Amino acid sequence: MNKRTVLLADDDPGLRRLVGATLGSEHFNLLSASDGEETLSMARELRPSLILLDINMPRRNGLEVCRLLKADPSTSEIKIVMLTASGSEIDRSKAFEAAADDYFVKPFSPIALLDKVYALLG
């Protein structure tokens, strides 16, 4: 089985460790970024299959990163799941307006995250 590359973009080291323990297996090549600029650079260079993208990050927020990646033909096919601590309908709408493929509220169950990743990557 080919490893699928997942880029986790979140400025919280604890969340990066949790997701790393959940997805860092023989099935996924997990990369991480801690701010929006780093996320853009890594996404453009490495073209992951999926980005788990926090909305509130330094140097560029996740909504802006999502819009830029989805507007660029070379990265527009990357699946993007917005991660946020807010479950409000306004934030959910903003994520989908930015062309996110899905939306996931923190804190979350590692098993629910794994299910979502498998569903998006097929």
pLDDT at 34: 94
Q: Is the peptide bond before 107 cis (omega within 30 degrees of 0)?
A: yes
pLDDT at 52: 96
Can you give the pLDDT of all 122 residues of the chain as single tens digits? Answer: 467 899 999 999 988 888 888 887 767 899 999 999 999 999 999 999 999 999 999 999 999 999 999 999 999 999 999 998 877 888 889 999 999 999 999 888 888 988 999 999 87
Q: Which two tokens stand for residue 120?
A: 């998006």
pLDDT at 1: 46
pLDDT at 20: 85
Length of the chain: 122
Domains and their CATH numbers in the chain: 8-121 (3.40.50.2300)
pLDDT at 19: 86
pLDDT at 2: 62
**What's this model's pTM, rounded to 2 decimal places?**
0.93
| Buried/exposed 22-44: b ≥16 CB within 10 Å, e otherwise | bbeeebbbbbbbbbbebbbebbe
Give the closest residue to 57 by CA, choosing from 84, 80, 31: 84
